[in-house]
Amino acid sequence: MTRVYLKGNEAIAYGALEAGLNAYFAYPITPSSEIPETLAKEFGNKKFPEYKFFLQAASELEAINMVIGAASGGARTMTATSSPGFSLKQEGLSYAAGMELPFLIVDICRAGPGLGNLGPEQSDYFQATKGGGHGAYRLIVLAPASVQEMASFPRLAFDLAFKYRNPVLILGDAFTGQLKEDVEFPKLEPSKFDVSEWAVTGARERAPHILNSLELDYQKHYNHIAKIFEKYKRVEANEVRFEEYLTEDADQIIVAFGIVARIAKGVINKLRQKGVRVGLFRPITLWPFPKTALRKLVDQGKQFLVVELNTGQMIEDVKLAVGESVVVDFLGKWGGIVPTESEIENKLRRLEAVAV
């Protein structure tokens, strides 16, 4: 076990290297650029013998399509970007989902729309969890709330990507990307993945492998999408991840992900000392969304406060999970502004008053 003091973005880079990253394709954009910078610096480090290639592409589109090429060859590959760049990645993500390619993409979300600013937001939630590009598909989406999770999620992401042959997204934000904390890397070998059934490695003593999203025969294409959505059902059944913090006896539950969940924990700890029973439900996989676990909390007649760094996106999934009969309030901050603990506390107090 090694313990290091790292920025969130650096932790993602080292986490990917520890997980056996083969190739990185870069395009710089604030506030994600420490990821390619770290990986450029570490290129050639003998500590990471699997790490064979680093290249800065000429555009976000070029980078994601290089990732598609490398993933087609069975390599463990990734790229990272931030919101305006994530919009440009959507073309490649749609193709990759259709071709069933495994790789890791990171979006260090900043304020939008358009150029927005460089501050933290979670306003890419829709784009991240609903498909984002054209056509019917999903990304598996992991939302880290600490630098430690930034460090350990790349391994999980590659495991999931290769298990289900689908791109996996780590959705961070400008806050978690720039946050600096102690992290630990467990001494673990990179996972082994068998790509021999599908990767393009040259058709030697086997039929050609064709990685393709095109199917002109309507019935065949219907079947292909049906097959992908059968796979997504397995993901929904097996890969839901979430954290519950003091929810058992709580009258009020804050639902938040990423950095907001950290702030919410601070509020909860403070209120608990005053005897107020508040808990936190933190989705770790934004897709598949932990709707069943959240619904279980409804049965106990609790109030919900969704706090997000946007104008209200995850709240739609929360409402779908808990239904119309429950009070679901919302606190949103955007434009790079993060809610303070007292703002969340005030909102909880008002919510309590409404319920009475």
In the complex, which residues of this chain contact other proteins (CB under 8 A)?
A: 22-23, 25, 52-53, 55, 57-59, 61-63, 65-75, 77, 91-92, 95, 99, 200-205, 208-214
**Is 92 or 132 the residue whose CB approaches other proteins more closely?**
92
Q: Give min distance, CB of 34 to other proteins, in A.
A: 23
**Is 22 or 123 the residue whose CB approaches other proteins more closely?**
22
The contacts of residue 94 (CB under 8 Å, 6+ apart) are: 131, 132, 133, 134, 135, 137, 213
- Pull the structure tokens for residue 121: 């937001």
Q: How many Å apart are CA 329 and CA 175, to the nearest integer? A: 24
Q: Give min distance, CB of 111 to other proteins, in A.
A: 27
**Is 55 or 298 the residue whose CB approaches other proteins more closely?**
55
Question: What 3-state class would DSSP assign to 203?
Answer: coil
- Pull the structure tokens for residue 257: 């992900």
Q: Give min distance, CB of 272 to other proteins, in A.
A: 50
**Is 69 or 84 the residue whose CB approaches other proteins more closely?**
69
Torsion of CA 218, 222, 225, 227, to 10 degrees: -130
Q: Are 186 and 11 in contact (CB under 8 A)?
A: no
Q: Give min distance, CB of 96 to other proteins, in A.
A: 10
How buried is 120 (Cβ within 10 angstroms: 0-12 exposed, 13-18 middle, 19+ buried)? buried
Question: What 3-state class would DSSP assign to 109?
Answer: strand
Q: Give min distance, CB of 333 to other proteins, in A.
A: 36
**Is 78 or 328 the residue whose CB approaches other proteins more closely?**
78
